[in-house]
Amino acid sequence: MNNTALAGIRVLDMTHVQAGPSASQLLAWLGADVLKVESPSGDVTRKQLLDIPGVDGLYFNMMNCNKRSIVVDMKSADGKTVFTELLQKCDIIIENFGPGVLERLGFSWNTIHKINPSIIMGSIKGFGASGPYSHFKAYDNISQAMGGSMSTTGFNNCDPVVTGSQVGDIGSGLHLIIGILAALQARSNTGKGQYVEVAMMDAVMNFCRIKFRDHQRLAQGPLPEYMAPTGGITAAPRSGNESGGSNLGNALKCKPGGANDYIYVVVQDAVWHKLATLVGGTQLANDVRFSTLNSRNKNQLEMWDMLEAFTSNYTKYEVMEFLNKLDVPCGPVMSTEDLVNDEHVKLREMIVSLDHPQRGSWFNVGMPIKLSNSYVKISPPPLLGEHTNEILRDVLEWNDEQIKSYNK
């Protein structure tokens, strides 16, 4: 018996590259049967950034585990027939084509809804289906630029910077899944499907919610928690490594001084006396320049210098051990190398070893959502068209002659 969370839910995955495939992969990891529809040339990421000649790239692999691949030429009559039949057999369709692509193929939302009134359609677009930007193309970095992330990332008086994480692509995928799951619940009450839209720009703005808090606070005067002066500005500033909250935070250098030998420390009121005693004894603990939040705000540059003079004598893991014993919130800056070798990460199954028929051994980032009663084992991504005949036979119930004719 299949007791996964989305057992019995079938997804028609029309997505490509990153935003859409990351969303449909999560549905697969929640137990849905995800049918990845690919053109005869396949998802473009199969051939991008190749590290092994002739083998599907890691870009594709890391977004498409636990899916079944079927080749469908949407420009042919046979392909449109297969696509139409698949629509009738699926609960969800997801797409992240450029503006107007599906419509030009003859499959607008209205058409899809008429073919299957109970289907839920999830769509990711750069800027949504309405508004003056709706027909613009978008990439992750463009959505970060236009959604407020770049203008608030980096250090004061430096160029705007994109984040290392793909908040535009992966972030819009996460938002889409939330909408699709809500639409599934609504369908259980009404029997009707609906259209679920997420714009990448909108998703990034949602991630920047705190920055819009600060934008409004500026109308009342400078923001005391920022190290750089904020008087007279009208937009939320770049905040570097500052915490952005009522408790000060910063990244401090550690031994031996490499690119990622830092630890992030949050200084709470409740732990300041213990932290100060560890770093500078009773003299620092009783220093009026740092004894209250307001005084630390005013003198935080000096405070961070004193804390860093301590942390730079130890490795980031040693400092983490010291500070956690005092209940001081902290965390080492962990590189990708640190993470793939970390015991906690392995225990959480956030790095998962897999075998690929062509690539051999590789690893993927694991499922970040843990359900106590609905575990899905992660399996490798499909080869191009690997399950075409299987899907035609088992899902569409075609006979051998029909399958043979389709494959000509």
The residues assigned a catalytic role are: 169
Query: What span, in angstroms and rounded, lies between the C-alpha atoms of 256 and 263?
Result: 12
Burial of 289: CB neighbours in 10 Å, binned 0-12, 13-18, 19+ = middle
In the structure encoding, which two tokens stand for residue 282, read together? 């009773």
Residue 26 identity: L
CA angle 52, 57, 61 (to 5 degrees): 135
Q: Which residues contact 228 (CB under 8 A, 6 or more apart)?
A: 156, 157, 237, 240
- Output helix, strand, coil percentages for the chain, rounded to the nearest 5: 40, 15, 45
Which of 113, 79, 73 is closest to 93 using CA atoms? 113
DSSP string for residues in 146-163? HTTTGGGSS-TTS-----
- Which run of H or of E encompasses 301? helix 300-311
List of E strands, 165-322: 195-199, 248-253, 262-267
**Strand-pair partners of 44:** none
Give CA–CA dist 407/382, Å, rounded.
18
Q: Which two tokens stand for residue 241?
A: 């490594």
* Cβ contact 61:352 at 8 Å: no
Report the alpha-carbon distance of residue 314 to residue 301 in Å, rounded. 21
